[in-house]
Amino acid sequence: MHTVIVTHSHPDHFGGAGRIKREAGASLITHNAFTTWSIEAKRNRRSYPSEQAAAEAEQIAAAAAQSLDLGEEIPTIADHADDYAGDPLRDNPTAELQAASVPWGAETPWGGSKHVGPPLRRRLVIKALRSLFSPPDPTQRVVHGQRLRLADRDWVSIHTPGHTIDHLCLYDPERGILLSGDHVLPSITPHISGVGNGADALKSYIQTLDLVAALDGITLGLPAHGHPFDDVPGRVDAIKRHHAERMQLLAEASHQLGPATVVDLCHEIFPRRHWGVMAESETFAHLEHMVLTGEAERWREDDRLLYRAA
């Protein structure tokens, strides 16, 4: 019996999965929160019930403690219960800024003429791929800490929200192998979007970086982009430093500019060749994290959000 693992809901990671499942008679495994490019499926995330979130958080925490023997100092997915809730902004007073999902084509939360979604060239490629690949229908949806028997070895599912809210890693505790997907990459830092990714995507990402770095006996990371790498904790430290440096640059730019929009601040920290909605959404994620931690303030003026570092 073949098995297909889909680490998260980006088309370059699930595009051919449905076809492989169908033609090989394979089972297909995703995280419980997995959705596809379907706008209706994405909109359905908005109604993910708070009661289900709380129940799943309890189940996840218990499963993690039992099957991974995680210490109290290591975050479990219970720390991310808000990311599952119907209102992921319960700790954010400006609730209209984000929803659990924002369909492609919607106006960005920070205002302006940009719209959520990938650049035009990538949208055209994805549109073409739709005619070749059908979105996958998972055979099994898993939660954090769930054990799986694949390829004659035991794996543990590790939910790692941040890059996407449904990102899934797999951990082989016997051999110290981590299928890291896009969560930990050997040479680039994964994109962290502030849209459709929970109340504080950067917080979720940093916490779950710490989680995988603390897994016992990790000796090999197998990423979705790039070559295998043997120092997962070292790579985690490098990625965390990158995000700390990015927030420091934002604070410095804010002090120089005064109150500024997401676009203004994005242009201060990203080179011109990277300007666009993806760079803006990551800037938005960093700024929202800074607001939620008291390192910045935010208000709305003329349909645009303005930020100022504390």
Residue 252 lies in a domain: no
Residue 25 lies in a domain: yes
For residue 157, what is the enclosing H or E element? Answer: strand 153-159
The reported pTM is 0.78
Copy the structure tokens of residue 137.
Answer: 């229908």
Give me the CATH number covering residue 12.
Answer: 3.60.15.10
The answer to whether the beta carbons of residues 247 and 289 sit under 8 Å apart is yes
Domains: count for the chain? 1
Residue 292 lies in a domain: no
Cα separations (Å) of 302 from 114, 241, 265, 285, 305?
15, 35, 17, 21, 8
pLDDT at residue 71 in the model:
36
pLDDT at residue 44 in the model:
40
Residue 260 lies in a domain: no
Residue 101 lies in a domain: yes
Residue 39 lies in a domain: yes
Residue 303 lies in a domain: no
pLDDT at residue 35 in the model:
78
Residue 223 lies in a domain: yes
pLDDT of 240-296, one tens digit each?
A: 999 999 999 999 999 999 999 999 999 999 999 999 888 999 999 999 999 999 999
Determine the structural domain holding residue 34 and report its residue range.
3-243
